[in-house]
């Protein structure tokens, strides 16, 4: 029977690492320590590599910085897509971008980002004809 996977917060990881070190220094064997902490050996080693000698506040700060970095990377990707779309359209290219397929069901809210959804919607509207679309056909609804 497998246990359900638990997502540990950084402060919990630091506390468990501290407990593991205390138990190992007290003379307990590794198997008993892993069972007491309810983690696998690979998880404990990964935590040691990632959180090593950090304190609780440092682990929280690391998690916050990682989340902020992930968010900023998404913003850069969205802006790059917007720039690519605008460059393509400013050159007078009213057909779909090379390599992109027209998909009728891909314009849902489940797209990877709002910019991607806008780009797909825009390209689907302008890829129908060579001439500039009429204002009625390009009315934005976002």
11-15, 30-34, 44-48, 91-95: which has the minimum mean pLDDT? 91-95
Does residue 116 lie in a domain region? yes
Q: Can you tell me the mean pLDDT for 32-45?
A: 92
Instruction: Give per-residue pLDDT as tens, 61-76.
Output: 888 999 999 999 999 9
Instruction: Give per-residue pLDDT as tens, 126-138.
Output: 554 445 555 555 5
Does residue 133 lie in a domain region? yes
Domain count within the chain: 1
> What is 45-76 written as a DSSP string?
HHHHHHHTT--HHHHHHHHHHHHHHHHHHHHH
Describe the crossing of helices 10-25 and 56-90 by its angle, rounded to 10 degrees. Answer: 140
Say whether pTM exceeds 0.95: no
Does residue 8 lie in a domain region? no
Residue 140 structure tokens = 């934005």
DSSP class of residue 104?
A: T
Domain hosting residue 90, numbered range: 77-142
Query: Is the torsion defined by CA of 39, 41, 47, 53 positive or negative?
Result: positive
Does residue 121 lie in a domain region? yes
């Amino acid at each position: 029977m497998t246990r359900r996977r638990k997502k540990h917060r950084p402060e919990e990881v630091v506390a468990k690492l501290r407990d593991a070190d205390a138990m190992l220094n007290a003379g307990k064997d590794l198997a008993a320590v892993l069972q007491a902490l309810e983690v696998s050996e690979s998880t404990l080693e990964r935590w040691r590599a990632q959180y090593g000698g950090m304190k609780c506040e440092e682990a929280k700060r690391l998690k916050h910085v990682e989340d902020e970095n992930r968010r900023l990377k998404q913003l850069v990707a969205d802006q790059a897509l917007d720039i690519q779309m605008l460059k393509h359209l400013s050159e007078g290219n009213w057909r779909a971008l090379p390599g992109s397929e027209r998909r009728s069901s891909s314009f849902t809210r489940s797209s990877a980002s709002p910019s991607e959804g806008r780009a797909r919607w825009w390209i689907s509207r302008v890829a129908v004809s060579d001439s500039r679309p009429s204002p009625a056909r390009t009315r934005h609804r976002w």
